[in-house]
Amino acid sequence: MGLIWVEMQLKDKVALITGASSGIGKETAKLFAKEGALVILTARHLDKLKFVEDEIKIKGGKADSFSMDITNREQIKETIKNIIEKYNKIDILVNNAGIAIWNSIQDVSYKEFDDQININLIGYFNCIKEVVPYMLKEGSGNIINIITSTVKKTKPGRVAYAASKYGQAGLSNAVHEDLKDKGISVIAVYPSKTNTSIHDAYISKDNPQREKMLKPEEVAKVILKAALIPANKDVKEFVVGI
């Protein structure tokens, strides 16, 4: 029996992934590379990204790393300019970087609230804003915004976090409407609680709750599904694990 050839689903695509040094971002990068994409890994700490880049390259994948703070607009602009100069295009943006500050309205500080909004909501906007002109020039693209099931059912003690995530959902839906007739697919992915380092400050690593969480690899598979949806399908969200 001859070999069965399976075409890689993201062959020749350039995928920019924020928050790619761990968790969902890391697993998405590994899966995208396996499917033939050149993955552009971004996060604040370049040394951590290099470990992921090496892991991908050892397995025959293509990857490159850039230090990028999603709250720094000038740095984002410069990074994306450098990516375009080096690779000519960005086909996919996965907005994934973020933080979780869990406090009630009584306890949350002004700084904690501002940090949550600046990183989670404004950070997503910054990346979309800089990538869209290049996608419009190509007449195609896929933007995937990783949000959370919190926007489907908010729990107590999530004031700043929920505000940022509801904002992400509104942003994603609005950008979807702006771009769906221009060849660019914009999809929000809503995973339920996922076993990543974002929970380390609140849940110990050996807590039984961890066993009930989604695995980052499970979320990555849905992100891959979202990355394959063309704009003319008019799909705006996938919910995972609810």
**pTM strictly above 0.85:** yes
Domain count, the chain: 1
Q: What is the pLDDT of residue 196?
A: 60
Residue 9 covered by a domain: no
Residue 2 covered by a domain: no
Intra-chain end-to-end CA distance of the chain, in Å: 42
Task: Give the mean pLDDT per block of 10 residues along the chain (242 residues).
Answer: 58 97 96 98 96 97 98 98 98 96 94 96 98 98 93 83 95 98 97 64 49 83 97 93 71
Residue 97 covered by a domain: yes
Q: What is the pLDDT of residue 194?
A: 60
CA distances for 22 relative to 17, 26, 73, 100, 210, angstroms? 11, 5, 23, 15, 16
Residue 7 covered by a domain: no
Q: What is the pLDDT of residue 212?
A: 62
Which residues form the domain of 212?
14-240
* CATH at residue 93: 3.40.50.720
Respond yes or no: is residue 190 known to be catalytic: no
Q: What is the pLDDT of residue 208?
A: 46
Decide if 107 contacts 100 (C-beta within 8 A): no
Beta partners for 15?
39, 92
Q: What is the pLDDT of residue 198?
A: 57
Catalytic one of 87, 110, 134, 161: 161
Q: What is the pLDDT of residue 199?
A: 47
